[in-house]
Amino acid sequence: MNVRIVSRRSGRRWGVVALWLVLCCEPHAAWAFDPLLTGSAAPATAAANMLGDGSASVCVFGALPNPLPLQDAVERALCSNPRTREAWAQVKVEAARVGQGRAAYLPNISASWQGVRDDQKTDIDNLPQFNSNFRNFLRTESVSLSWVLYDFGGREAALKSATELLAAAQANQQAVLDAAFAKVAKDYYAAQAAQGALAAAQQIEQTANDSVQAATARTNRGVAPITDQLQAQTQYAQAVVSLTKAEGDRQDALGVLANDMNLDPNAPITLPEVGEGVKPDQAFSGSIADLIDEAKRSHPSVRAAEARVEAALAKIRQTRAEGLPSVSLVAKYSRNNEPTSFEIGQPQLPTTGSEWYVGFQVTIPIFTGFLKTYQVREQQAKAELESDTLDETRQQVGLDVWTSYEALQTATHNLDNSAMLLDISNRSYAAAEHRYTVGVGSILELLNAQSALAGAKRQRIEALTDWRSARLQLAAKLGEIGMWSLPGE
């Protein structure tokens, strides 16, 4: 007797979780759905709370103003610079991981539904009365639950690690914003200094040309030798070379400033002139030792390093817990309508079957080839590494505060020194020019006074911009920089 059974099934399988997959495919919907409340940890913009209330509307800009104020340059850099946006994205990454840590405390519930068309044919040689040919639509549904109840603190440690890494990302974002703020301010003042140096070079070029005209007139009248005229022409040629270099330096500085704001280097930027309204304050008049100690405690980069140490310690506890038993609540209910038949050749009878269970499941890792031993050692070494990094960060913060403090002290003293130098140089040049005009002074005296005046003008501009920049650099190194740090000029 030969029995031939042919069975064909066709159908589709769907999971109830398909709805969630659709939501995940829509980025905006996925970010809007935040049942575990982690979205508030990430600011609305890359500038966080350094601009206004931190809402998304503060990072909307139009055309570049003319001239460009420092505040506008800082705002554009904080919102648009790739580094600040990278730090912002990292905060969102860590916030999502905190959500994953919280999700571990909730049960996992899954459902499935299967519908198939079942064609089954049975042919028995020499016994045709037992042949059969059935067609049915079969359905199977099931719902299952798994809920970890106890895991020796593994989930708690994982959530602690994720929370500390989020705190580290937030502190790192603040450190990146401080650095971006300080950099754009430094580059802004450097561009202002280059623009002022160009204006001074133009004045010196005009003054050198006037000296050439005066020397030429005296030479033509026979009251001065030809060497006076040649020396004046040499000085003028040097002034033209300096003017050309000053123009190139200005363009370079403006290109760097444009890059800070995430603009093309050739973006048209006009800056206001360097003002004299500098009034040294007592904002950083405290003891340098106290400033260093405060920075070592509260600087964002130190807070980020401290949080990473705590995260590494929590990771050790998590890894140890993964090698211990866990207790879970498990449950399942399933139902199907697969028909049954009492014997071959008999018609199939419609039936409905169901099954369910509920209970506890204990998972005990017995032997993993000493894998957990070395995983724990790895996490301990990483914690040691993060601790050493914390010490290095504190040391670097202290050094940065010291160098910035000394730079500010030097810049403050040079404000008065450069003002005095410029005043003396102006009076010296006026006297030399008068003496040469009336025929009692030499061309060398005039040219030396002219050169000294050019240097004094450049040093005055540098002193003004250096002080403003040094003040903001120290605020950044102390972790106390903000829009309130900008001068009100």
- pLDDT, position 141: 94
Q: Which residue has the higher pLDDT, 211 or 316?
A: 316
- pLDDT, position 443: 80
Residue 354 placed within a domain: no
Residue 123 placed within a domain: no
For the domain that residue 81 is a member of, what is the CATH number? Answer: 1.20.1600.10
Q: Determine which of 310-324, 347-361, 461-475 has the lowest per-residue pLDDT on average.
A: 347-361
Please give the angle made by the CA atoms of 485, 488 and 489, to the nearest 5 degrees: 130
Q: What is the pTM of this model?
A: 0.82
- pLDDT, position 300: 94
Residue 376 CA to residue 382 CA, distance in Å, equals: 10
| Domain region containing 41 | 34-47+67-106+151-323+365-480
Residue from 51, 57, 42, 49 nearest 74 by CA: 51
- pLDDT, position 451: 83
Task: Centre a 10 Å sphere on the Cβ of residue 384 and count the other Cβ atoms it contains.
Answer: 12
- pLDDT, position 180: 92
Residue 30 CA to residue 101 CA, distance in Å, equals: 18
Residue 229 placed within a domain: yes
pLDDT tens, residue by residue, 49-92 = 787 666 666 788 888 998 999 999 999 999 988 999 999 999 99
Q: Which residue has the higher pLDDT, 97 or 37?
A: 97
Task: Centre a 10 Å sphere on the Cβ of residue 323 and count the other Cβ atoms it contains.
Answer: 15
Residue 22 placed within a domain: no
Residue 456 placed within a domain: yes
As a whole-number percent, the residues of the chain with pLDDT over 90 amount to 50
| Mean pLDDT computed over every residue of the chain | 85
Q: Does residue 13 carry a pLDDT above 70?
A: no
Task: Centre a 10 Å sphere on the Cβ of residue 289 and count the other Cβ atoms it contains.
Answer: 10
Eight-state DSSP code of residue 39? G
- pLDDT, position 27: 45
Confidence band (pLDDT; 50, 70, 90) for 387?
Answer: very high
* Maximum separation of any 2 CA atoms in the chain, in Å: 143
Confidence band (pLDDT; 50, 70, 90) for 156?
Answer: very high
pLDDT tens, residue by residue, 392-429 = 999 999 999 999 999 999 998 998 899 999 999 999 98
Residue from 118, 123, 134, 128 nearest 348 by CA: 134
| Residue 454: exposure state from Cβ atoms within 10 A (0-12, 13-18, ≥19) | buried
Segment 253-281 mean pLDDT: 85
pLDDT tens, residue by residue, 282-332 = 566 668 888 899 999 999 999 999 999 999 999 999 999 999 999 999 999
The count of structural domains within the chain is: 1
Which residues touch 221 (CB under 8 Å, ≥6 apart)? none
Residues 120-159 as b or e (16 or more Cβ within 10 Å = b): bebebeeeeeeebeeebeeebbbbeeeebeebbebbbbbb
Q: Determine which of 98-112, 129-143, 169-183, 303-317 has the lowest per-residue pLDDT on average.
A: 129-143
| Sign of the alpha-carbon torsion through 209, 211, 217, 221 | negative
| Residue 280: exposure state from Cβ atoms within 10 A (0-12, 13-18, ≥19) | middle
Q: Provide the residue count of the chain.
A: 489
Q: Does residue 471 carry a pLDDT above 80?
A: yes
Residue 255 CA to residue 467 CA, distance in Å, equals: 22
Q: Determine which of 68-77, 216-225, 237-246, 312-321 has the lowest per-residue pLDDT on average.
A: 216-225
Residue 271 placed within a domain: yes
Instruction: Give the DSSP letter string of 110-157.
Output: EEEEEEEEEEEEEEETT-GGG-EEEEEEEEEEEEEEEEEEE-TTHHHH
Residue 146 placed within a domain: no
As a whole-number percent, the residues of the chain with pLDDT over 70 amount to 86
> Cβ(152)–Cβ(446) under 8 Å?
no
Residue 81 placed within a domain: yes
Q: Does residue 3 carry a pLDDT above 60?
A: no
The CA-based dihedral angle spanning residues 342, 346, 350, 351, taken in that order and rounded to the nearest 10 degrees: 10
Which residues touch 452 (CB under 8 Å, ≥6 apart)? 425, 428, 429
Instruction: Give the DSSP letter string of 395-410.
Output: HHHHHHHHHHHHHHHH
Task: Centre a 10 Å sphere on the Cβ of residue 77 and count the other Cβ atoms it contains.
Answer: 26
- pLDDT, position 11: 47
- pLDDT, position 127: 67
Residue type, 439: G
